[in-house]
Structure 1
Amino acid sequence: MKRLFAIALLFTGFAARAQETPTVTARVEPDSIMIGDRFDYIIDVEKDLVQVVEFPEFQNAEGKLELVESCPVDTLERDGRRLKLRKRYRLAAFDEGKYNLGAAQVLYADKNILDTLRSTDSVYLEVATFQIDSTSQSIYDLKGQKNLPFRFRELSGYIKWGIFFILALLIAGYALKRYLASRGKGFGDLFKPAPPLPPHVAAIQALEALHNQKLWQNNKHKLYYSGLTDILRTYIAARWGFGAMEMTSDEIIETMRAEELPDKARMDLTAILRDADLVKFAKATPEAEQNEADYLKAYYFVEETKIAEEETPDEEEAPKEN
């Protein structure tokens, strides 16, 4: 009797363990579609709270179904320790026929158990196509391209607008010619490059642009003095016609001795070049007052040494009436 009771307890334990295993069900919605339509392949799992299941990636052995979207796992309901999960795969079918998707499978892990759980029933899908009634519908060959006769009115609008555009260009060209002739110029003058700026004008513009960059205010003293001396070298090369850009500071100072310069301009040029060499090669950091002073020295050096502009002769005075 004791032996029978032990066997009954053993079977009861197995039954209880079997009930605790997650259950898997699967279906398709809808189960019948037209070719090219989409449908949902749904897998539901009921399990205990501590049990772990993993839904697989959808695999179609026949290769006739296309996965459109794999939706995230949803928790449908929770009753105590029981959970109901749902995984939805959105698919599409492009071949006619009846498909056996087989039993749904999920991976199950619980303590030392690792197993694959399957649904009890296989899932079927029917894909239908459009039926053509050959008795009422006839199939014909492709027709050849039909050549239509040329009609002038199809191009008349383009011709009218083309003539109008040409006339507008001629009128505009004639008006421009009259305007240029009144100023003693021709069409060729429109395409002439602008005359180069005088050396002192280009130098003053470059100095003002350098001043607006605020380099030394941002601790870029070397860049500031390099720009300052480059402007002066360019001006000297254009003003006196020797290669100041390739000369050292001492060579420039020595070469400028032969030129007629105001004493102040000569001293300012020497001071700027010496200060620039200290900053660029000795890594000196001038004060703000010196930076501004060197800028003003360069500005007035250009102003004091520029070529005097030629004055246009005054118009002859009209003879006085007697």
Structure 2
Amino acid sequence: MKNNYFIIIIVILFILVADYSFPAGIIADDDYGVRAEFIQGKAVPGDIVTLRLKFKIPPGFKLPENPEIAGLNGFDIVKKRTMTDGIDIDIFVDRMDDLHLTALEIYLYNKKGGQKALKSNPVVLFVKPKIIVKPTENLLRPVKGIISSGYGLKKVLLIVFSAICIILAAIAAYYYFIKYRRNKKSGPAAPVLPPHIKALNRIDSLVLSGIPDRYERRSFCFILSEILREYVKGIRGFNALEMTVDEIANVVKEKDDIKLLGVLKKMDLVKFADNFISASSLEEQVGLSRAYINKTKPEEI
């Protein structure tokens, strides 16, 4: 009987040790040639997160200058950096749901052209949507009892109110007279264009002479960013021209607006960090800008 108890205790200890050694949802590193992990524990839409891939290159093989990594389709890759023991990949978070990366594959080559694939473990990054909490409106407290309501005070208030009304009437008459004379001299005012037509016209004028050379692309990005921010201000009602990308991300809720954050982020990297942007990438950003405007413009009646 004592032997049976001893065996049961040994089995329970083995199960506990196994659970602590390999927690649920974690796969042993030995099953994969690449260990994948996100540097950040969590993110919100608009962030740039880093995916780190660690691995050892087998003898006789080497990693190309532009590594081939399968399994990243559908993700907005900002930059890749090759290190001695792996690769860091910056990814722009353009969605409100979690980033699920299934097993990735990195391809290595030997001198004879032979190919070898290293497989990574699946990895998940939790994305927390930003929720805007409406602040409680401040209420004015009643002033009854603070000011005396006697006849003398009422008479004074009536005189003050009458004087204010006369002054406001004089200002309104003067403003109307000036505006009437100005309109009479200049003729009818030009019609105000809808935000989407104005934005598309400005983009057409911007790219009329083609994509600029490398040294003028920074000013090009300044103008394109201003056009998009002015358009967002026109359709969403908040002043995007005076806000950073992170501040805009705190306000927008539509998926199309969240995707636009990627374009604004890349424009800011060129504007303020003087990052290099190729002509093809700049053409792609112009195309994404036009697509966003056409998708979010008001429906024609």
Which is greater in Rg?
A: 1
Structure showing greater relative contact order (alpha-carbon pairs closer than 8 Å, 6 or more residues apart): 2
Q: TM-score range by the shorter chain?
A: 0.3 to 0.5
TM-score, normalised to structure 1, is 0.34
